[in-house]
């Protein structure tokens, strides 16, 4: 006798099949998080690999059962997660997703619309058209016909922006700041374009005069990619001034606002993005500030006509006669074919929270970043790189000179400037700042102990600890704990 196939997620019986499985999943998520107890599992990679290996065969000859498999594997992944919902998990632009967005994503999986043809996604494709139009209008409030494509994130959006520019102009040169995302270099490589010209950004942002200097030396069509929210420092290039320089040199402007774009939702802070709509294309990620589970990327374009070059025909998906008969042609909305309805979770989030609700989340994270900067400034053991623009805070320990055998004290060999950390005594200030190696070791120690997840970033020729604050539930008390942990690690 053959066993019946496992139940499906869709249809009228799907919900009843899912309900008990979801109970198992939710219990395993809860128990796994409790077993972890902190922002990430202790013991480093070896311990994690050993625990995963101990789970047993990945592909047994005969399976266990759905509840056992869900319980075991979801528990293992939750216990071994770097969980961005923990307030001390703050290394990257790794967002803690909103519960309501995750719930919507379940529905997306259950229905499994595929966005490459209307007959696989009738309502999902209609919803996507509405949401992308609305978000494009947030970026380009004054444009006549803006549009946006749903992407897997900033990397794909930046690549599409370069592709669209190449299709407008042929062999286009790209000019980026040294602060720009690495994806521009890969995109140029992938698209067969010349290597991007990289303009140094010693202050962390692309200086208009430096850009003008670079453009003067270039013939032919140029796309300048500016950044609104740099990955390392959360800085925003001076977009209006860069747009002026581009206009003066006949260059086109793309803005990578993967990180900073959602600041548009905040009444308090949206002025930081003034001039964004002068860009021909804009990258925005909603899986950073936006609190969506990955993936939730967008490429906004000022003029929908720029997207026509992406049109493509495959007879089984968008035959001309089907299109003429009124079936929407979706194949030009992406370079992908099968494509998840990532727009559903975003649509649910926009509707449930509204612009004001999202803006309040942005504001909360911006405030936490200022709080953390305050704490760093108050700590005699720490040095702050700069007051935060977005939600990224760079800091580094200042190690007091320890008069041990042969240790250098005043005037350290690397010429490090005395710290400006408030409250540092002259002796401490004159002492060697902690070396980059010490700092990297502090970060790895916190990771190995499972106490905190901090990132690292180079700036000013030195290495810094990086906290990227995307958790609107983090409290000043959480941040104080983070500071205490870092201070404790510096005195070992
Ligand atoms: C995160 C980020 C990207 C890459 O986005 P993905 O979603 O990871 O592909 C690109 N640019 C900037 C500025 C980013 O912060």
Fold entry, domain 106-354? 3.40.640
The pLDDT score that the predictor gives to residue 491 is 65
378-413 pLDDT tens trace: 999 999 999 999 999 999 998 655 444 443 333 333
Cα(385)–Cα(391) distance, rounded to whole angstroms? 13
| Phi and psi at residue 330, to the nearest 5° | -100, -10
CA distances (Å), origin 235, targets 153, 162, 259, 260, 383: 19, 22, 10, 9, 18
Do 356-490 and 106-354 fall under one CATH topology?
no
Measured between alpha carbons, how far is 15 from 252 in angstroms, rounded to an integer? 50
157, 151 Cβ separation under 8 angstroms: yes
Lowest mean pLDDT among 8-17, 47-56, 342-351, 483-492: 483-492
Residue of the CA atom closest to atom 4 of ligand 1: 154
Confidence of residue 492 (pLDDT cuts 50, 70, 90): low
Ligand 1 center–CA 371 separation, angstroms: 25
As a whole number, mean pLDDT of residues 221-248 equals 98
Phi first, then psi, for residue 324 (nearest 5°) are -65, -30
Three-state DSSP state, 280: coil
Whether the per-residue pLDDT at 309 is higher than 50: the answer is yes
Is the pLDDT at 423 greater than 60? The verdict is: no
Average pLDDT over residues 315-327: 93
Nearest atom, ligand 1, residue 229 CA: 13
Is residue 267's pLDDT more than 80? yes
pLDDT at 403: 45
Half-sphere exposure of 473 (CA within 13 A, CB side): 12
For the chain, the average pLDDT equals 93
Q: How confident is the model at residue 490 (pLDDT cuts 50, 70, 90)?
A: confident
148: three-class secondary structure by DSSP: strand
Q: Residue 354 half-sphere exposure, CB side, CA atoms within 13 Å?
A: 3
Q: Is the pLDDT of residue 374 over 90?
A: yes
Of 156-165, 373-382, 410-419, 459-468, the poorest mean pLDDT is in 410-419
Probe ligand 1: pick from 239, 285, 290, 455, max atoms within 8 Å of CB?
285
- pLDDT at 382 (0 to 100): 96
Q: Give the pLDDT of residue 410.
A: 38
Encoded tokens for 444: 């790895």
How far away, in angstroms, is 297 Cα from ligand 1 center?
A: 9
Which position has the token pair 């311990």? 47
Give the separation between CA 445 and CA 492, rounded to whole angstroms. 11
Residue nearest to atom 5 of ligand 1 (CA): 154
Token output for 346: 């975003």
Neighbours of 486 (CB within 10 A): 25
Task: Name the residue ranges covered by the structural domains of the chain.
Answer: 14-80, 106-354, 356-490
Q: What is the pLDDT of residues 109-165, one digit of tens each?
A: 999 999 999 999 999 999 999 999 999 999 999 999 999 999 999 999 999 999 999
Give the Å distance between the CA of 21 and the centre of ligand 1.
Answer: 34
Structure tokens at 398: 């200042």
Q: How far apart are CA 456 and CA 394, in angstroms?
A: 8
Rounded CA separation 302/316 (Å)? 31
Give the residue with greater pLDDT, 242 vs 436: 242
The mean-pLDDT minimum among 26-30, 313-317, 450-454 falls in 313-317
Among the atoms of ligand 1, which is closest to the Cα of residue 231? 15
Q: Whose CA is nearest to atom 12 of ligand 1?
A: 258
Average pLDDT for 212-239: 97
| One CATH from 3.50.50.60, 3.40.50.2300, 3.30.1460.30, 3.90.1150.10 for 356-490 | 3.90.1150.10
**Which pLDDT score is estimated for 489?**
87
Ligand 1 contacts (CB < 6 A) are 93, 153-155, 181, 183, 227, 229, 231, 256, 258-259, 285, 297
Lowest mean pLDDT across 63-67, 69-73, 404-408: 404-408
Nearest to 302 by CA among 148, 407, 429, 196: 148
Lowest-confidence pick of 207-216, 226-235, 319-328: 319-328
Q: Which one, of 154, 371, 392, 102, lies nearest residue 261 by Cα?
A: 154
Q: Are strands 297-301 and 147-151 parallel, antiparallel or unpaired?
A: antiparallel
Residue 24, pLDDT > 50, answer yes
- Position 416 confidence tier, pLDDT thresholds 50, 70, 90: very low
* pLDDT value of position 431: 41
Minimum-distance ligand 1 atom for the alpha carbon of 228: 13
Pocket probe mutation, ligand 1, options 97, 182, 231, max atoms within 8 Å of Cβ: 231
Residue 406 has a pLDDT of 40
Work out the average pLDDT over 269-280. 98
| Nearest partner of 382 among 277, 465, 324, judged by Cα | 465
């Amino acid at each position: 006798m053959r066993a019946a196939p496992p139940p499906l997620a869709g249809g009228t019986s799907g919900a009843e099949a899912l309900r008990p499985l979801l109970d198992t999943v939710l219990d395993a998520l809860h128990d796994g998080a409790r077993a972890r107890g902190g922002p990430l599992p202790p013991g480093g990679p070896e311990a994690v690999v050993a625990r995963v290996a101990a789970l047993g065969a990945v592909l047994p000859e005969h399976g266990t059962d759905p509840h056992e498999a869900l319980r075991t594997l979801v528990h293992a992944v939750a216990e071994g997660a770097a969980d961005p919902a923990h307030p001390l998990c703050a290394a990257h632009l790794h967002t803690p997703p909103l519960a309501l967005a995750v719930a919507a994503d379940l529905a997306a999986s259950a229905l499994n619309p595929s966005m490459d043809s209307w007959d696989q996604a009738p309502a999902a494709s209609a919803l996507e058209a509405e949401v992308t139009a609305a978000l494009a209008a947030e970026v380009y409030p004054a444009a006549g016909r803006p549009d946006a494509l749903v992407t897997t994130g900033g990397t794909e959006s930046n690549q599409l922006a370069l592709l669209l520019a190449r299709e407008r102009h042929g062999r286009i040169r790209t000019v980026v700041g040294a602060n720009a995302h690495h994806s521009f270099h890969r995109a140029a490589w992938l698209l067969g374009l010349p290597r991007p010209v990289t303009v140094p950004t010693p202050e962390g942002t692309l200086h208009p005069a430096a850009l003008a200097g670079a453009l003067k030396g270039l013939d032919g069509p140029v796309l300048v990619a500016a950044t609104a929210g740099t990955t390392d420092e959360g800085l925003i290039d001076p977009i209006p001034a860069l747009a002026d320089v581009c206009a003066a040199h006949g260059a086109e402007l793309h803005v990578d606002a993967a990180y900073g774009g959602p600041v548009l939702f905040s009444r308090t802070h949206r002025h930081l993005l003034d001039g964004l709509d002068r860009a021909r294309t804009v990258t925005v990620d909603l899986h950073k500030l936006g609190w969506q589970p990955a993936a939730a990327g967008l490429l906004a374009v000022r003029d929908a006509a720029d997207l026509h070059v992406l049109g493509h025909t495959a007879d089984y998906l968008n035959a001309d006669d089907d299109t003429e008969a009124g079936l929407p042609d979706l194949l030009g909305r992406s370079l992908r074919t099968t494509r998840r309805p990532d727009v559903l979770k975003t649509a649910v989030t926009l509707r449930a929270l509204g612009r004001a609700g999202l803006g309040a989340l942005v504001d909360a994270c911006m405030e936490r970043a200022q709080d953390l900067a305050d704490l760093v400034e108050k700590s005699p053991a720490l040095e702050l790189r700069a007051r935060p623009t977005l939600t990224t805070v760079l800091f580094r320990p200042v190690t007091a000179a320890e008069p041990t055998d042969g240790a250098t004290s005043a005037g350290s060999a690397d010429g490090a400037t005395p710290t400006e950390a408030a409250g540092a005594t002259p002796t401490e200030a004159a002492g060697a700042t902690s070396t980059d190696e010490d700092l990297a070791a502090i970060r790895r120690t916190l990771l190995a102990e499972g106490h905190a997840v901090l990132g690292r970033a180079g700036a000013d020729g030195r290495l810094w600890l990086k906290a990227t604050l995307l958790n609107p539930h983090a409290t000043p008390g959480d941040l104080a704990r983070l500071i205490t942990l870092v201070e404790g690690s510096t005195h070992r």
